[in-house]
Amino acid sequence: MSDKDMAPPGMAKGSRLDLTAGTIPTTMILFALPTLASSVLQSLNGSINAVWVGRFLGEDALAATTNGNLVMFLLVSFVFGFGMAATILIGQAMGRRTPQEARRAVGTALGAIIPLSAVIAALGYAFAPHLLEVLGTPGSAAPLALTYLRVIFIAMPASLTFTLLMMALRGTGDSMTPLWFMCVSVGLDIVLNPLLILGIGPFPELGIMGSALSTVIGNTAALIGLVAAIYLRGSPLALRGHDLRFLIPDRVVLRLMLAKGLPIGFQMIVISSAAITMLSLINREGVVTAAAYGVTQQLWTYVQMPAMALSAAVSAMAAQNIGAGQWSRVRGVTKWGLIFNLCLTGTLVAVLTAFDRAALGLFVGADSEAVPIGRRIQLLASWGYLFFGVAQVLFGTMRANGYVIAPLLVMIVAMYPVRLGFAFGLYPVMGADALWLSFPAGMVATALMAGGLYLHGGWRQGTMVPAPEAAQGSSTYREATGGCTPSAEMAGDGEWASPQGRSAAGGREARVS
C-alpha cells in the first residue's frame, strides 16, 4: 500500500478528511459544507434555468421542464441507490484502512452503471411520449416536455457517471473535489443556457432544447475534469495497472450492491411515483397551478438542501466509523446531524416564509397569476421539511450499516396511505389545500417512524462488510500493518457480515449493542 492510499489515523490526506477522528461537530461541518455548497450550486443552476425558461419561453415550457424532471428522477432512482450502496462500501473500507476494497467497490459500480445507464437512456428516449402521457402532462406543454426529456436521456450515461464518482469521492472523505467540478458543471450550464435558448451571437436558437443541451455540456465537461483530477491528485479510487480488473464487476460486491442498493433505489421510486401521482392531480388544476407548483419546488430544493447535505455527511461519517468499529462516534454523528438540521432547515423555512412573494416572482414575474398560488403552497407545506430533515439524518445513519428494508417500508407507508390518502381523502372537503397539506403530513409520519426504527430497529446488526475482511483483515491491511493474517482475497467470496465480523471458526455474527 502506498502513502497515497492511506493517511495515518486522525490525519487528512490532501482534500480528504479522516472522518473517524477529531471533534464530531467540527468534522461534520468541514465535510458537510462543501456538500451543501454543491447542492446550493446544483439547485441554483436549476433555479436559474427555470428563470430563463419561464421568462423567455413561458409557463407552458416551465410546466414541461417540471414534468420532464420528475420522469428523470423516477428513472435514475435505481442508479442512485446503487451508487449509494457503493459509497457505503467505500466509506467502510476507508474506515478499515483498506483502500483496495474501496477501488474494488468503485470499479464494480462503474462497470455496472455505465452500460446500465446506456440501456436506460435508449429505452427512455423511445418511451418518453408514453411516460408523459401517464403523467397527464398538459397538452400545450407536452411537445416541449418531450423535446427536453429526450435530450436529457441522450446524455444520461455521462450524467450518471459524474454523479456516481462524486458520491464515491465523498465516501473517501473528500467533499471538496466534487464541489470544484460541480462549479464547472453549473458555470457552463448557467452561461450556455440563455445563449442556446435565445440563439445569442454565434449560437443557434434552440428554445427548450437549448436548456437541456446546456446541462448536457456542463455535466460532460465536468466528468472529464473529475476523472483527470482523480488520477492527477492520487485519489485512493484511481484504478491503475492490476486494479483495472475491478471494472469487471465482482459478483459478490455486485450482489451486495444490488441487495442494498435496490431498496435505497426503491425508496426514491416510492417518493417519485407518489410525486408523479400528486402531479397528475395538480395538473388537473390547470397550467398556472402546475407552473406555481414547479416554482415552489424550485424553492423547496433550497429548503431541503441542509437536510440532504447533512444526511450525506452523516452516512459517510457513520460508514467510516462503523468500519473502524467506533460505535460511540456513530451515536455522536447522529446527534449532531439532528442538531444542525433543525437549526439550518428551520432558518431557511423562516426566511422563505418572510420573502416568498419576491422569491416566487423571480421565476414567473411579480404579476403572474402563479404567484399567489405558489405562496399558498409554500405556506401550507414548507414547514414539513423540518421533519423531512430529521428522517433523512436518521436514515443516513442506518443506511451506513446496510439497514435499508425497514426504511423502505416506512417510505411506502408515508407516501401512500398517509400522503396520497390525505390528498385523495380530503380533496373533496378542502380542495387544492389538501394537496399541499399532504406533503407535511407525509414528512411528519416519516420522521416519527424513522425515530422508532433508530431507537428500536436492528440496524446495528447490518450487513455491509465482507466476512473474510472483518474476521481476518484484507491483504492490503496486512501489508500496511505487517500482520500475518490470511489474505481476504485468498479466502474466496465468502458472505457479507456485520462490521464486527464473524468468528473465523464458527461463522456466527457478532451482535452489537
pLDDT in tens, 179-207: 999 999 999 988 998 899 888 888 888 88
Residue 486 has pLDDT above 50, yes or no: no
Of 254, 305, 290, 287, which Cα lies nearest the Cα of 466? 254
Q: Are 60 and 143 in contact (CB under 8 A)?
A: no
Q: How far apart are CA 199 and CA 115, in angstroms?
A: 34
% of the chain at pLDDT higher than 70 = 83
Q: What is the pLDDT of residue 344?
A: 92
Residue 231 has pLDDT above 60, yes or no: yes
Among 16-25, 63-72, 113-122, 433-442, whose mean pLDDT is lowest?
63-72
Q: What is the pLDDT of residue 78?
A: 67
Q: What is the pLDDT of residue 67?
A: 67
Q: What is the pLDDT of residue 506?
A: 34
Q: Are 93 and 99 in contact (CB under 8 A)?
A: yes
Q: How far apart are CA 288 and CA 368, in angstroms?
A: 9
Q: How far apart are CA 500 and CA 493, in angstroms?
A: 18
Q: What is the pLDDT of residue 393?
A: 95
* Interval 295-330: pLDDT, tens: 888 788 788 889 988 998 999 899 889 988 888 899
Q: What is the pLDDT of residue 490?
A: 28
Q: What is the pLDDT of residue 11?
A: 40
Among 33-37, 106-110, 220-224, 469-473, whose mean pLDDT is lowest?
469-473
286: left (phi > 0), else alpha (psi -120 to 50), else beta? left
Among 152-161, 209-218, 476-485, whose mean pLDDT is lowest?
476-485
Name the pTM for this structure: 0.73
Q: How far apart are CA 80 and CA 72, in angstroms?
A: 12
Q: pLDDT category, 389, cuts 50, 70, 90? A: very high
Output the CA–CA distances (angstroms, integers) from residue 252 to 51, 149, 463, 466, 489, in the order listed: 46, 35, 13, 9, 12
Among 97-111, 132-146, 292-306, 310-324, whose mean pLDDT is lowest?
132-146
Q: What is the pLDDT of residue 305?
A: 86
Q: What is the pLDDT of residue 193?
A: 86
Of 264, 55, 232, which Cα lies nearest the Cα of 167? 264
Q: What is the CA radius of gyration of the chain?
A: 23
Q: What is the pLDDT of residue 53?
A: 78
- CA 226: distance to chain centroid? 18
Residue 217 has pLDDT above 70, yes or no: yes
Output the CA–CA distances (angstroms, integers) from residue 192 to 39, 197, 443, in the order listed: 20, 8, 37
Residue 473 has pLDDT above 60, yes or no: no
Q: What is the pLDDT of residue 463?
A: 53
Q: What is the pLDDT of residue 71?
A: 67
Tell me how many degrees the CA angle 43-236-20 measures, rounded to the nearest 5. 75
What is the average pLDDT value for the chain, to the nearest integer? Answer: 80
Average pLDDT for residues 379-395, to the nearest whole number?
A: 93
User: Per mean pLDDT, which of 34-48, 104-118, 143-157 is the most reliable?
Assistant: 104-118
Q: What is the pLDDT of residue 2?
A: 44
Among 52-61, 154-163, 169-178, 502-511, whose mean pLDDT is lowest?
502-511
Rounded-to-10 torsion of CA 294, 297, 298, 304: -170
Q: What is the pLDDT of residue 182?
A: 92
Q: What is the pLDDT of residue 141?
A: 72
* Interval 251-294: pLDDT, tens: 999 988 888 888 888 887 787 778 778 888 888 888 888 888 88
- CA 262: distance to chain centroid? 14
